[in-house]
Amino acid sequence: MSVIEAVRGDLTVQRADALVNAANSTLLGGGGVDGALHAAAGPELLEACRRVRRTQYRDGLPVGEAVATEAGQLPARWVIHTVGPNRHRGQDDEALLAACYLRSLDVATELGAHTIAFPAIGAGAYGWDPVTAARVAVRAVADHPRIGIERVSFVLFNDQLLDAFRTELKGLQR
Ligand code: AR6
């Protein structure tokens, strides 16, 4: 059994085996949590992402897919990069947003990670409202077998998101 929790905070300072990045398909950085993770990790993270682009994902990481790299200077062993659907481009399929969480947990399990921390994927530049982002995230994580994973943390950047995630987590206990 793993603990699933929601906390308010900055993902870049969380101690976890794996930190999940809400990236874009290029894997070459951006704004939001992606920019913050790259800034805190240092150039090794970008170099690791470039390696992924040269080898595994030459055309970029597809929406809903996930891939791991080392974590540079971050307080984690791995960064798991995933790409949420961009509502501003008409990508409004909740199953693709759920896939970000499910595939990230698959990758974490393959790596042998025991603890993993997620941001609210899609809830910034990609335009998902907090309530939908939280519902899809919490249900996806709850549905995953999470073999070997002891703790899943959602690290939320503002109170509105924290409330939305906490409400969904309470719903799981009923
Ligand atoms: N810690 C935790 N959460 C954060 C942090 C942080 N340090 N910084 C921002 N957030 P976004 P997306 C929150 O835009 O919607 C990037 O440019 C933020 O408040 O980071 O999936 C990528 O390169 C929001 O609630 O990710 C892509 O191009 C949540 O993280 C695009 O944005 C997600 O917002 C991806 O957009």
Ligand 1 shell residues, CB under 6 Å: 10-12, 22-24, 30-34, 36, 84, 119-126, 155, 157, 161
Best residue among 26, 33, 96 to mutate for probing ligand 1's pocket (most ligand atoms within 8 Å of CB) is 33
Spatial separation of the C-alpha atoms in residues 136 and 156, rounded to whole Å: 15
Q: Which residues contact 104 (CB under 8 A, 6 or more apart)?
A: 18, 20, 66, 80, 82, 116, 118
Spatial separation of the C-alpha atoms in residues 94 and 61, rounded to whole Å: 18
Residue whose structure tokens are 């990508």: 91
Asked whether 88 and 127 are in contact (CB, 8 A), the reply is yes
- The reply to whether 59 belongs to the active site is no
Take atom 21 of ligand 1 and give the residue whose Cα is closest.
122
Mind listing the pLDDT tens digit for each residue in 101-149?
999 999 999 999 999 999 999 999 999 999 999 999 999 999 999 999 9
Which token pair is 132? Answer: 């939908």
Angle, vertex CA 36, rays to CA 75 and CA 84, nearest 5: 100
Spatial separation of the C-alpha atoms in residues 171 and 141, rounded to whole Å: 13
For the full predicted model, state whether its pTM sits above 0.95: yes
Phi, psi (rounded to 5 degrees) for 152 = -115, 120
Take atom 5 of ligand 1 and give the residue whose Cα is closest.
33
Mind listing the pLDDT tens digit for each residue in 66-92?
999 999 999 999 999 999 999 999 999
The atom number, within ligand 1, closest to the CA of 12 reads: 7
**What are the structural domains of the chain?**
3-172 (3.40.220.10)
